[in-house]
Amino acid sequence: MTSSFNPPTRTLMGPGPSDVHPRVLAAMSRPIIGHLDPAFIDMMDELKDLLQYAFKTENALTLPVSAPGSAGMEACFVNLLEPGDKVIVCQNGVFGGRMKENVERCGAQAVMVQDAWGKPVDPDKVEVALADNPDAKALAFVHAETSTGACSDVEALCALARQHGCLSIVDAVTSLGGCELRVDDWGIDAVYSGSQKCLSCVPGISPVSFSERALDLIGNRHSKVQSWFLDMNLVMGYWGSGGTRAYHHTAPINPLYALHESLVMLKEEGIENAWQRHRLNHRALAAGLEAMGLSFLVEQDYRLPQLNAVTVPQGIDEAAVRKILLNDYNLEIGAGLGEFAGKLWRIGLMGYASRKENVLKCLGALDATLQQLGADIDGGTAVAAANSLYNSR
């Protein structure tokens, strides 16, 4: 007989979803009301303000798309691109490749700028590509590449786009709330993120923001946006200003309660403090991993604090390690992707998961597991090294 599903309690330290704060889970259980209820519309307005705070923007077109981060990505591309357009797409991991797919599915041409996985996007290569393609409409790149843990220089890349008369489209799925992101100061034209990473919310919502320049383009297209559901010209009728809203779709009401609560908590902490918390816990995790003798894929200057790509010791089956961590410690970490499958672990310190308790649990469990499997590491050193860093603050 089929019964109710009761999932195990895990500590989520992979590439997402991340741990969700009890306050956010509690928010989801609040009474459902209609998606055009005046009380819900008031919350929608607050939600937009809170997202503007998180993105550090005053963009009027800032809202949560009622679907996961991949839909936020598609929303940016389908609204800004038309058939025949040309886009410079930077790829230094999995998610730059997904940008290319979106460009081509819009009937546009993707001019690729390739960098090695684990490296940031090279601004010099981008400048050459922009100079060689003066008819390019947009520059698209990933801020925080989740597949490798590499962070690219958004400010420099957006400045290049502006110099060459291009829009900028930025993937901030893993960066929003976890490391410095300044949409207005850095001149980002379109940006998308996800609820399940550093915002510590449940999966299924994608915050997006569009600049005035992007908004003008969306309102003056030559052809219809290819996606009815993601057409911002229509969506803004529901997410616009004032008490009168046009029905577009039934919003995911309770997950939006959860996003609202997570953003309230982010504002209570302070966005800069959240960035600092992620950096501190990354440093402690790194101290412990390096004490064991493990190393990182990404050079220190370009590492994300919230997503750590760690090399697997010689002779160790990385999947076996993850299985032990999950079964014996209820701890989830992620596997490598693409050319790094079997060679890396991706350890997340995202949002509510980025706390001392998790850092020490992960280091202790990984240390014990690697010793159990006979890895050539300096066992018994990791937790002490992390604690030493915490105590030296």
**Res 217: pLDDT:** 96
Give the pLDDT of residue 243: 59
Residues 6+ apart with CB under 8 A from 67: 204, 205, 206
Q: Which pLDDT belongs to residue 242? A: 62
Is beta strand 331-332 parallel, antiparallel or unpaired with respect to 307-311? unpaired
Q: CATH for 22-268? A: 3.40.640.10
Residues 6+ positions from 74 with CB-CB distance below 8 Å: 102, 227, 230
Q: Are 227 and 240 in contact (CB under 8 A)?
A: no
* Closest listed residue to residue 333, CA positions, set 349, 314, 317, 351: 349
In sequence order, which ranges of the chain are alpha helices (DSSP H)? 22-28, 38-55, 69-80, 94-105, 123-132, 154-163, 183-186, 212-219, 232-239, 253-269, 271-292, 318-329, 356-372, 382-391
> Domain 271-391 - what CATH class?
alpha beta
Q: What is the per-residue pLDDT for 245?
A: 83
271-391 has the same fold as 22-268 = no
The closest alpha carbon to 177, from 63, 285, 259, belongs to: 259
Q: Where are the domains of the chain?
A: 22-268, 271-391
Q: How far apart are CA 83 and CA 338, in angstroms?
A: 30
| Cβ–Cβ < 8 Å for 206, 195 | yes
Helix (H, G, I), strand (E, B) or coil at 210: strand
Residue 124 burial by Cβ neighbours in a 10 Å radius (0-12, 13-18, 19+) = exposed
Spans of the chain below 50 pLDDT: none
At residue 381, the pLDDT reads: 97
| Residue 358: alpha-carbon gap to chain centroid | 20
